[in-house]
Amino acid sequence: AAGISDARALVELTAERAAVGGLDATCRTPVGARAELLDGRLRADAFVGLPDGSEWVRDSVEGDPEDPVALGRSLAERLLAAGAREVLERAGSME
């Protein structure tokens, strides 16, 4: 597996999954996350919103690519502090 693994993609995916996991999101949760490794820095962006687009919370963080889990968790914590939990609760009641 090491021969076909892409280290860059794994770092990005790990940050994305940590952010989504930190939000307790499921495949039905209106959440998007994207991480990108650029010039030795890892940038992660995430979006939480209502399905109809009427309300949303968005944030991004940059950090050390050596710890993508910490970066993703930090992003989730920032989103939750900005009101993402309430948005996700309302989104769940709209199903």
Report pLDDT for 92: 83
Q: Are 15 and 35 in contact (CB under 8 A)?
A: yes
Please state, in angstroms and rounded to a whole number, the distance separating the CA atoms of residues 61 and 22.
14
pLDDT 10s digits, 47-64? 999 999 899 999 999 999
CA 72 – CA 25 distance, rounded (Å): 13
Element (H, E) at 8: helix 7-22
**pLDDT attached to residue 32:** 95
pLDDT at 28: 84
How far apart CA 3 and CA 23 sit, in angstroms, is 33
pLDDT per residue as tens digits for the range 9-37? 999 999 999 999 999 998 888 999 999 99
Q: pTM for the complete prediction? A: 0.90
Which amino acid makes up residue 19?
A
